[in-house]
Structure 1
């Protein structure tokens, strides 16, 4: 897919804000009252279950997106921002209920959206450079766009993991179901 028309900074910011604002509700609808077998299913060692995805999204609200945006604006390319621990959520979510985590994510995302609005509504250069500890030079625009796509990626992951639970039960229809890893 190619991008035919460049969007303005204002339009890009609005699209990002729209997507980010929908994630908590989408995740709640997908996970709330999900049977434990589906909530904790994963795709093998080192992969995320739907429950783990929620924990990971929460950890990102705390340690990743807004802190990195502020870091870029403060330090530019002078200093790489701290690495993000993709598995920090494991200990943080241990023993906590799904509803508690859903509520925490909703609260943290509201705070993050307010902070993001302050960033994008100010006179900020979305092409401000930063330094990622592994990827090297990045821009604020790339970070914020990645945040929205990261959410979509994890929503898709939740759906994919749940769908794979039924892979053997769909019988010959598996050939028509790309979510199960087939061309369909």
Structure 2
């Protein structure tokens, strides 16, 4: 496998295991907690990753067949957060990602320069989209972990200052910001 593709795969393969671990270990109340109104909880981040895994897999096929593809607006086209358990969602994500990784394994270094037209962004290469996919995975994992951190930071007392870059200010929470 091409080194670039191996690096992308190495990022993408870690995400399902992380979610399975979170789902099996953390209480659902923490996973469902939004850091603040209008921001996603960890469960909402996982639901979005399920939606986008389907989108990225579809886009790979578009590049291979020379088709253009539409933009994806998660606020319009995303699935509503399911009443299913976080464990079921994590298992679904793991299954979807296994399928997506199989699609990734069919690619060659020559495929990376294939072009398609994204409805919003214009011409893009498969290499660019694969970079975006891996970065997207990491971004939403960080976002989920930031949501999980909030109640811990709120009660960290003088250590709160070490988390200022990650702390969401919310009404009714004492933000001592101790130095």
Q: Is the 8 A contact 2:16 2:97 kept in 1?
A: yes
Residue 170 (structure 1) aligns with: 156
Deviations along 1:145-172, whole A, 9 cap, x unmatched?
A: 1111111111111111111122321122
Q: Structure 2 residue aligned with 1:180, among 160, 164, 167? A: 167
Q: Is the 8 A contact 1:72 1:131 kept in 2?
A: no
Residue 32 (structure 1) aligns with: 24
Deviations along 1:35-54, whole A, 9 cap, x unmatched?
A: 23211112334422111111
CA distance in 1, matches of 2:38, 2:155: 25
Q: Is the 8 A contact 1:31 1:50 kept in 2?
A: no
CA distance in 1, matches of 2:82, 2:22: 20
Residue 69 (structure 1) aligns with: 60
Residue 4 (structure 1) aligns with: none
Q: Secondary structure at the match of 1:56?
A: helix
CA distance in 1, matches of 2:24, 2:141: 14
CA distance in 1, matches of 2:12, 2:93: 12
Shift in Å at residue 84 of structure 1?
A: 1.4
Aligned residues: 168
Residue 112 (structure 1) aligns with: 100
Q: Is the 8 A contact 2:113 2:126 kept in 1?
A: yes
Report 1:1-184 matches (<5 A): 10-62=2-54, 64-75=55-66, 79=68, 81-87=69-75, 88-91=77-80, 93-120=81-108, 124-177=110-163, 178-180=165-167
Shift in Å at residue 15 of structure 1?
A: 0.6
Tell me the C-alpha RMSD between the 2 structures: 2.3
Q: Is the 8 A contact 1:20 1:151 kept in 2?
A: yes
Q: Is the 8 A contact 1:58 1:108 kept in 2?
A: yes
Which consecutive residues of structure 1, in runs of 5 or more, have no partner in the other structure?
Answer: 1-8
TM-score scaled to structure 2, two decimals?
0.83
Q: Is the 8 A contact 2:8 2:130 kept in 1?
A: yes
